[in-house]
Amino acid sequence: MPANAVRLTRHDAGVPVGVVDVGSNTVRLLVADEGRQVLTVREAVGLGADVESHGSISPVKLEETATVVEALANTAREAGTTHLDVLITSPGRQASNGDELLDTVEKAAGAPARILSAAEEGRLAFVGALAGTPGLVRRQVAVVDVGGGSTQVTIGTRHAGPTWIRSLDIGSLRLTRRLLAGDPPGPDAVAAAQAELARLLEGFDPPEPQAALAVGGSARTLRRIAGARLGRDELAEVLSLLATTPADELIRRFDLPQHRARTLTAGAVILAALQERLRTPLRVARTGLREGALVELAERRAAA
């Protein structure tokens, strides 16, 4: 199966399906046809910054989000999509006006929208990661999804599905604003962030997996610097680099997305802490939450 393919049912052959994902850092659109990605669009909006600073989403950000979601929904329909799943992740859960965000997004998309619980977000990331990763048939797999506002760890098997899900109320954007706002953040700030992760992970005792996958924007961006394998040594080396290298230099040297460069150190801190506790190297997966949503959308349509 190609790296950008997901397993959809034959019922969906030739019928494009789409997912709009409203997250803390970005709003994304993914359209797939016959199980293959045909269109992906990303717009940086930064809802998580509002939530972290004020506890709610400002009218200006709600309006910006509505404009972006409407444009992406129209793009999906122009591509032939007749079934659109609209998902809101941590901003909907964490903002005091999450219901207002939901209403705004739903109207802009012209389609039903839903705020995912942390468990639903973890489950969809697990389904999507395994759908795009060959092998691992009988192995217990951990999927780590570091977002801007929260982090999900899901463990299970391809056959049985997720059997253990935990969520941390911290993500790359939130940790950056709290402890890693400097450019570069510096070793002392990284050490403080690592201490904060150790505090948040007290009592975190996952079943030991036989393999581990990392999904989400932080993991995909780290792949450009450290490669697809993120073990203890690779993460320690990249953290040393990120702690002392300005964002502009990282963007230039590694062709990083600008909106990811400033939060990448935080993402690496979170991934390193979780990799240590899972006791197995992380492999960066090419598919995740949105692909998992496409799989479940196809299953719902096939059952209808």
pLDDT at 89: 97
> CA–CA separation, 171 vs 194, rounded Å?
13
- Sorted by where each begins, the domain ranges of the chain are 10-116, 133-284
Q: 3-class secondary structure for the chain?
A: CCCCECCCCHHHCCCCEEEEEECCCEEEEEEEECCEEEEEEEEECCHHHHHHHHCCCCHHHHHHHHHHHHHHHHHHHHCCCCEEEEEECHHHHHCCCHHHHHHHHHHHHCCCEEECCHHHHHHHHHHHHHHCCCCCCCCCEEEEEECCCCEEEEEEECCCEEEEEEEECCCHHHHHHHHCCCCCCCHHHHHHHHHHHHHHCCCCCCCCCCEEEEECHHHHHHHHHHCCEECHHHHHHHHHHHHHCCHHHHHHHHCCCHHHHCCHHHHHHHHHHHHHHHCCCEEECCCCHHHHHHHHHHHHHHHC
Superfamily of domain 133-284, CATH level 4: Exopolyphosphatase. Domain 2 (3.30.420.150)
Per DSSP bridges, beta strands 211-215 and 229-230 are unpaired
pLDDT at 12: 46
CB burial readout 55-91, b (16+ within 10 A) else e: ebbeeebbebbbebbeebbebbbeeebebbbbbbbbb
Whether residue 6 has pLDDT greater than 80: no
Please list, in sequence order, all residues whose beta carbon lies within 8 angstroms of the beta carbon of residue 188, skipping any fewer than 6 positions away.
Answer: none
Amino acid letter, 284: V
Whether residue 267 has pLDDT greater than 60: yes
For domain 10-116, give the CATH number. Answer: 3.30.420.40
pLDDT at 4: 42
Contact 266, 193 (CB under 8 A): yes
Shared fold status for 10-116 and 133-284 = yes
Q: 90-131 pLDDT, tens per residue?
A: 999 999 999 999 999 999 999 999 999 999 999 999 999 999
What angle in degrees, to the nearest 10, is found between the helix axes of 187-200 and 232-244? Answer: 130
Query: C-alpha distances in angstroms, 86 versus 69, 165, 184, 286, 288?
Result: 9, 22, 36, 21, 15
Which pLDDT band, with edges at 50, 70 and 90, does 40 fall under? very high
Mean pLDDT of the 194-198 span: 98
Which pLDDT band, with edges at 50, 70 and 90, does 229 fall under? very high
Whether residue 68 has pLDDT greater than 80: yes
Task: Give φ, ψ of 213 to 5 degrees.
Answer: -115, 145
Q: Give which of 229, 261, 259, 234 is closest to 246, Cα–Cα.
A: 261
